[in-house]
């Protein structure tokens, strides 16, 4: 079965949902729209006071490069867990010094831009193409790229895009979704690393995952809603009705998650006084093709796959192999 045969957002479904057209605004505007689809879960509005991350010396570039190149010793249990659950949370993937280097850069770039949109969610993508050597090292890291390939069980992984995801204090929920819904790549072998640049306690809104590689089927009957929160609520209700296990545990410093493109996930709002700073990078198996008909749910995908043609193998200069 090809991924496209089994996409929940079929062409017919896309037409019915009103998303059967390309996204014509910025990536920031896309996130504002996407967060507007989240239901209010009644979380109290007061912010919990938390300290900024402890001051740690950022690794110098050469040491950062070495750490991000050195393989992580993935265990069979971690690999099997990813295959079974559709996601894995791996501890001690990155050192405090590497994370401090990433965080400094994210803060510099966030301060230099226009700031978050109305939702309080700031997304900066393709940072590896900018002036930041640090973010380039993270995005093209063979340590992270090899983990992506090994978890997927493929020979090599290419980068789709990187993303800085900065959720400001008071920013609301990220709705339930799965990424295959908005990746215009015709492959089941797509995974995203989610790299917190500080520890993420429960009130800061850690990324939360619905366990089970086939759990997406539970939400198959829920209609996507491009204008309201009924999809978010419907998925939550379907999971509750089936007793789906949801992992919304905090992230320790250094912990990195990888979620498969079919793994449903969401995040609670950031109810702390500190921004939730994260880098996320999406990878796909070498050899994958662009779908025949990308829709607006894929956002401004052409900036990530410039020149890739519908139905053809993706091999653009912006999608290098990063697993070696």
Ligand X SMILES: O=C(O)CCC(=O)C(=O)O
- List contacts with ligand X (CB under 6 A): 165, 174, 179, 192, 194, 207, 265, 267, 278, 280
Give the shortest CB-45-to-ligand X separation in angstroms.
Answer: 18
Integer Cα distance of 193 and 195 in angstroms: 6
- Give the number of other Cβ atoms within 10 Å of residue 150's Cβ: 18
Q: Backbone dihedral region of 155: left (phi > 0), alpha (psi from -120 to 50 degrees) or beta?
A: alpha
Comparison of 87 and 253: residue with beta carbon closer to ligand X: 87
Give the shortest CB-192-to-ligand X separation in angstroms.
Answer: 5
SS3 297: helix
Comparison of 59 and 267: residue with beta carbon closer to ligand X: 267
Comparison of 88 and 165: residue with beta carbon closer to ligand X: 165
Give the shortest CB-171-to-ligand X separation in angstroms.
Answer: 9
Lateral strand order in the sheet of 246-247: 174-177, 265-267, 207-210, 246-247
Q: How many residues does the chain have?
A: 324
Comparison of 100 and 258: residue with beta carbon closer to ligand X: 258
Comparison of 265 and 289: residue with beta carbon closer to ligand X: 265
Q: Backbone dihedral region of 193: left (phi > 0), alpha (psi from -120 to 50 degrees) or beta?
A: beta
Sign of the CA dihedral with 13 first, then 17, 21, and 24 last: negative
Comparison of 59 and 270: residue with beta carbon closer to ligand X: 270
Give the shortest CB-312-to-ligand X separation in angstroms.
Answer: 25
Sign of the CA dihedral with 272 first, then 126, 90, and 59 last: negative
Residue nearest to ligand X (CB): 174
Comparison of 34 and 59: residue with beta carbon closer to ligand X: 34
Sign of the CA dihedral with 128 first, then 112, 66, and 99 last: negative
Comparison of 194 and 319: residue with beta carbon closer to ligand X: 194
**CB distance 181 to 261 below 8 Å:** no
Give the shortest CB-69-to-ligand X separation in angstroms.
Answer: 23
In the structure encoding, which two tokens stand for residue 290, read together?
A: 């662009």
SS3 260: strand
Q: Which residues lie across from 208 on neighbouring strands?
A: 266
Give the shortest CB-309-to-ligand X separation in angstroms.
Answer: 25
Comparison of 59 and 210: residue with beta carbon closer to ligand X: 210
Integer Cα distance of 88 and 41 in angstroms: 25
In the structure encoding, which two tokens stand for residue 49, read together?
A: 């006071």
Give the shortest CB-197-to-ligand X separation in angstroms.
Answer: 12
Residue 256, exposed/middle/buried by CB under 10 A (0-12, 13-18, 19+)? buried
Give the shortest CB-79-to-ligand X separation in angstroms.
Answer: 20
Give the shortest CB-323-to-ligand X separation in angstroms.
Answer: 19
């Amino acid at each position: 079965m090809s991924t496209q045969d089994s996409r929940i957002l079929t062409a017919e479904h896309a037409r019915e949902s009103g998303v059967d057209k390309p996204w014509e605004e910025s990536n920031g505007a896309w996130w504002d729209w996407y967060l507007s689809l989240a239901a209010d879960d009644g979380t109290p509005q007061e912010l919990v006071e938390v300290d900024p991350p402890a001051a740690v010396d950022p690794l110098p570039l050469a040491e950062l490069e070495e750490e991000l190149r050195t393989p992580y010793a993935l265990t069979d249990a971690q690999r099997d867990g990813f295959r079974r659950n559709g996601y894995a949370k791996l501890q001690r993937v990155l050192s405090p010094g590497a994370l401090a280097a990433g965080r400094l850069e994210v803060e510099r770039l966030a301060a230099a831009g226009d700031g978050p949109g109305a939702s309080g969610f700031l997304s900066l993508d393709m940072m590896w193409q900018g002036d930041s050597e640090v973010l380039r090292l993270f995005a093209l890291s063979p340590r992270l790229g090899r983990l992506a390939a090994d978890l997927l069980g493929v020979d090599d992984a290419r980068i789709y895009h990187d993303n800085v995801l900065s959720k400001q204090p008071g920013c609301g929920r990220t709705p339930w979704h799965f990424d295959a819904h908005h990746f215009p790549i015709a492959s089941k072998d797509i995974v995203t690393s989610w790299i917190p640049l500080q520890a993420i306690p429960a009130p800061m809104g850690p990324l939360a995952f619905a366990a089970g590689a086939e759990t997406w089927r539970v939400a198959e009957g829920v209609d996507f809603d491009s204008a309201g929160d009924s999809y978010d609520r419907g998925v939550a209700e379907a999971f509750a009705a089936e007793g789906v296990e949801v992992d919304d545990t905090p992230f320790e410093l250094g912990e990195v998650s990888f979620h498969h493109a079919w793994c449903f996930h969401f995040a609670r709002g950031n109810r702390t006084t500190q921004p939730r700073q994260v880098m996320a990078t999406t990878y796909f198996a070498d050899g994958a093709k662009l779908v025949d008909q990308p829709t607006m749910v894929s956002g401004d995908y052409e900036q990530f796959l410039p020149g890739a043609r519908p139905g053809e193998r993706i091999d653009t200069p912006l999608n290098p192999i990063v697993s070696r």
